Amino acid sequence: MIMLIYRGIALFISLVVVHCMFQEEEFWKQASATMVIIPLVMRVLLIK
């Protein structure tokens, strides 16, 4: 149960980060946000 909640939290934060990426006007800051998204999504999907 707690794991499901945390996957939800990770998903929620990933989505907000994606949103922020689209608002961001500097490429390298978008790239930095991409780095944050990768582990969050892989944990949501229970790959790693």
Partner 1 sequence: MPAIVEWFFPEGLYTIAMIGVFAVGAFTIKFPVSIAMAFAAIAGALIGGAGFPLRHLVEGMFGYLDTILVIATAMIFMKTAESTGLLEGLAAWIIRKFRKKPAFLSMGLMFIIMVPGMITGSSTAAVLTTGALVAPVLLQLGVCPHRAAAAIAMGAIFGMIAPPVNLPAMIIGGGIDMPYSGFGIPLIICTLPLAIFTAFLFIYPPLKKGDFSESGLEAELKRMEREPLSFRLFIPLLVLIVLFAVERVFPSHWPSLGMPLIFLLAAASALFSGVKWHPLQTVISAINDALPVMGILMGVGMFIQIMTLIGVRGFVTVSAIALPKWLLYVGIGVSIPLFGAVSAFGSASVLGVPFVLALLGHNEIIVASALSLIAGLGDLMPPTALAGIFSAKVVGEDNYLKVLRCCIFPAILTALWGIAIILLANKLAVFLF
Partner 2 sequence: MHKMNIKGTRKTAIFLLTVALLVMYVTGRNFLAMRQPDVVIPADGFEKRMLSDWFQGIHNTPADTPVFIQEGQEPGGTVLILGGTHPNEPAGYIAAVLFLERAQVQKGRLIVIPFANNTAFTHNSPQEGYPQYIRFLLPDGSVRTFRYGSRDTNPVYQWPDPDIYVHEPSGQRLAGSEMRNLNRAYPGQPHGVITQRIAFAILELIRKEDIDLAFDLHEASPEYPVVNAIVAHEKSLELGAMAAMDLEGRGIPFRLEPSPRNLRGLSHREWGDHTDVMAILMETGNPIQGRLRGRTNEALALTGKDKFYQKAAKLGSLFIPYEDDQPIALRTARHVTAIMTFLEMLGFISEEKSVIVNNIPDYNDIIDKGIEAFLLSIS
- Which residues inside 1-48 make contact with partner 2, applying CB under 8 A? 2-3, 6, 18, 21-22, 24-31, 33-34, 37-38, 41-43, 45-48
Q: In terms of Cα–Cα distance, which of 44, 38, 34, 46 is closest to 12?
A: 44
How far apart CA 15 and CA 22 sit, in angstroms, is: 11
Q: How many CB atoms lie within 10 A of CB 40?
A: 19
What is the footprint of partner 1 within residues 12-31 (CB under 8 A)?
13, 16-17, 19-20, 23, 28-29, 31
> Binding partner of residue 4 among partner 2, partner 1, none, CB under 5 to 8 Å per kind?
none
